[in-house]
C-alpha cells in the first residue's frame, strides 16, 4: 500500500469549502471524483484542514492510499485532465503509512488580502476584501502583537464548545502594504473554527475605533465570542502554507 502526500492549490469561490457535504459542491468531492477516474478505483482523501465557503488555498495538503504504481508525474498530469481550472495538483510524494495530512501537521500559515481603496479591483473581487476606510498599518501591527503567543482563543472561535481545547499558539502576524493591497500573514500551530477571520475582523474593528488596543487582552481573557470583533468575509482568506516535520 502506498501513502501519497499530495499538494494542491484551489480557488474556492465556487465551492462550499473543502469537506464533502451532502447538498453542496466541495473541493473534496471534485478531487476525489477526478482521482477515482484517474486510478480507476474509489479514492478517498484526508485533508490537512477544513476551509469555509469561498476560502482559497495556495498550498493545501491531502493524503491518499492506493495499491496502484502510477508515478508522481503521471498523477499530476493525469489529474490535470480531470480537474477544473480552479483546482490544481502540483506535487505528489510517497510518505510513510503513518503520515496524515491533518494530524502530522505542526502548523499553518494563512494569508488575508485586503484591497484598500475607494474603488473596487475588478480582477480580485473574489480574492481580496474590498475595504474603503484608510488602514492604519502601524495601529494594526500594534493590535496584532496582542495575539502573538500562546493564548486561550475561545473568544475568537465560532461554535466552540465548553469542553473543546481552545488554546493555540500564534507564532507571528505580519502586515505589509503593497500599493493598494494590504497582506496579513498569520502563522500558528493550529486554528479554531473561523479563528483567523475573527482575528482579522477584530483588527478591522480596531482600525475603525470600535475596539480599543487596551481592550484586547481583556477580550482574550474573557473567552466570550460576543466581545471579540466581527468575522471578516471569507473570500480574502487563503491557506498559504502547511508545515510538517521532515518526512
Please list the active-site residues.
Answer: 52
28 half-sphere exposure, CB direction, 13 A CA radius: 21
| Partners of 134 in beta bridges | none
Q: Which of 85, 106, 119 is nearest to 10 (CA)?
A: 85
- 56-66 and 237-244 beta bridge pairing: parallel
Burial of 156 (C-beta count, 10 Å sphere; 0-12/13-18/19+): buried
CA distance 32 to 142: 43
Rounded to whole angstroms, how far apart are CA atoms 157 and 197?
A: 9
Amino acid at each position: 500500500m502506498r501513502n501519497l502526500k499530495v499538494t494542491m492549490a484551489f480557488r474556492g469561490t465556487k465551492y462550499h469549502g473543502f469537506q464533502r457535504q451532502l447538498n453542496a459542491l466541495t473541493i473534496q468531492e471534485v478531487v476525489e471524483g477526478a482521482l477515482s477516474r484517474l486510478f480507476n478505483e474509489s479514492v478517498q482523501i484526508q485533508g490537512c484542514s477544513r476551509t469555509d465557503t469561498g476560502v482559497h488555498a495556495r498550498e493545501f495538503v491531502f493524503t491518499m492510499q492506493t495499491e496502484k504504481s502510477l508515478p508522481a508525474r503521471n498523477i499530476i498530469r493525469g489529474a490535470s485532465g480531470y480537474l477544473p481550472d480552479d483546482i490544481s495538483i502540483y506535487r505528489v510524494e510517497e510518505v510513510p503509512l503513518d503520515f496524515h495530512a491533518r494530524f502530522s501537521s505542526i502548523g499553518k500559515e494563512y494569508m488575508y488580502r485586503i484591497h484598500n481603496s475607494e474603488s473596487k479591483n475588478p480582477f480580485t473581487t473574489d480574492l481580496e476584501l474590498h475595504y474603503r476606510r484608510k488602514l492604519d498599518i502601524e495601529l494594526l501591527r500594534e493590535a496584532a502583537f496582542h495575539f502573538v503567543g500562546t493564548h486561550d482563543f475561545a473568544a475568537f472561535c465560532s461554535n466552540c464548545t465548553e469542553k473543546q481545547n481552545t488554546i493555540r499558539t500564534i507564532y507571528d502576524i505580519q502586515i505589509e502594504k503593497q500599493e493598494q493591497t494590504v497582506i496579513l500573514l498569520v502563522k500558528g500551530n493550529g486554528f479554531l473554527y473561523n479563528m483567523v477571520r475573527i482575528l482579522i475582523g477584530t483588527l478591522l474593528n480596531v482600525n475603525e475605533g470600535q475596539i480599543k488596543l487596551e481592550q484586547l487582552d481583556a477580550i482574550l481573557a474573557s473567552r466570550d465570542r460576543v466581545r471579540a470583533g466581527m468575522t471578516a468575509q471569507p473570500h480574502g482568506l487563503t491557506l498559504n502554507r502547511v508545515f510538517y516535520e521532515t518526512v
